[in-house]
């Protein structure tokens, strides 16, 4: 009879919960951009293509996270929404090529929902990736942060 350590069970449960929450968040990113997709084709066709790529990649990453906890999948699931946040900020500050209509439009409801969901996924993914670093690397990062804040 094989005995599984309680810490192993707890780690597996935490990992499953984190993967599930991240998958739901990525599905939310896809849904928000799907809802905003119709106007993009006529206004800025390249944004339409970027939205489609984001929707497909978000759904694919969500599916991969459901099936695996691979660090590369977590990294991609963290970077993709971070890039969307950068694009959102650029669209509201400097504007994007062929699209300056949203400059200063920070209060759009879908945009705020998008920032919330993407920020949540980036935060969760960053926490998971940081927790997976070897203990020695975490101590070096903590020491560097302590020196930087002194």
Segment 98-137, tens digit of pLDDT: 777 778 778 889 889 999 999 999 999 999 999 988 776 6
> Could you tell me if residue 118 is inside a domain?
yes
SS3 letters for 59-84?
A: HHHHHHHHHCCCHHHHHHHHHHHHHH
Average pLDDT over residues 31-46: 86
How far is the CA of 123 from the CAs of 103, 130, 141, in angstroms? 26, 10, 17
Q: Is residue 149 part of a domain?
A: no
Task: State the average pLDDT over residues 89-94.
Answer: 88
Task: Tokens for 116, please give them.
Answer: 């919330």
* Dihedral (CA of 45, 40, 83, 19) sign: negative
- Our count of domains for the chain comes to 1
pLDDT at residue 82 above 90?
A: yes
65 touches 74 (CB < 8 A): yes
The pLDDT assigned to 1 comes to 59
Tell whether the model's pLDDT for residue 42 goes beyond 80: no
In a domain, 1, yes or no: no
| pLDDT mean across residues, the chain | 87
Q: In this structure, are residues 101 and 27 in contact, taking their beta carbons and an 8 Å threshold? A: no
Please compute the mean of the pLDDT values over residues 40-61 and round it to a whole number. 90
Confirm whether 62 is domain-assigned.
Answer: yes
pTM of the model: 0.82
Domain-embedded: residue 150: no
**Structural domain contains residue 31:** yes
- Closest C-alpha among 75, 88, 59, 89 to residue 125: 75
Q: Is position 2 within any domain?
A: no
pLDDT surpasses 80 at 2:
no
Contact 121, 26 (CB under 8 A): yes
Range of the domain at 92: 9-144
- pLDDT at position 114 is 94
Residues 6 or more apart in contact with residue 148 via CB below 8 angstroms: none
State residue 133's pLDDT score.
Answer: 84
What pLDDT sits at residue 45? Answer: 84
């Amino acid at each position: 009879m094989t005995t599984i350590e309680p810490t192993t069970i707890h780690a597996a449960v935490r990992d499953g919960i984190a993967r599930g929450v991240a998958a739901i968040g990525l599905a939310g990113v896809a849904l928000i951009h799907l809802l905003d997709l119709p106007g993009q084709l006529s206004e800025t066709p390249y944004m339409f293509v970027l939205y489609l790529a984001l929707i497909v990649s978000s759904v694919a990453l969500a599916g991969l996270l459901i099936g695996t906890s691979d660090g590369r999948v977590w990294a991609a699931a963290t970077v993709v929404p971070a890039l969307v946040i950068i694009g959102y900020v650029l669209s509201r500050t400097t504007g994007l090529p062929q699209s300056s209509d949203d400059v200063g439009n920070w209060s759009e409801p879908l945009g705020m929902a998008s920032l919330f969901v993407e920020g949540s996924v980036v935060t969760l993914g960053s926490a998971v990736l940081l927790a997976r670093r070897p203990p020695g690397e975490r101590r070096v990062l903590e020491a560097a942060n302590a020196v930087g804040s002194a």
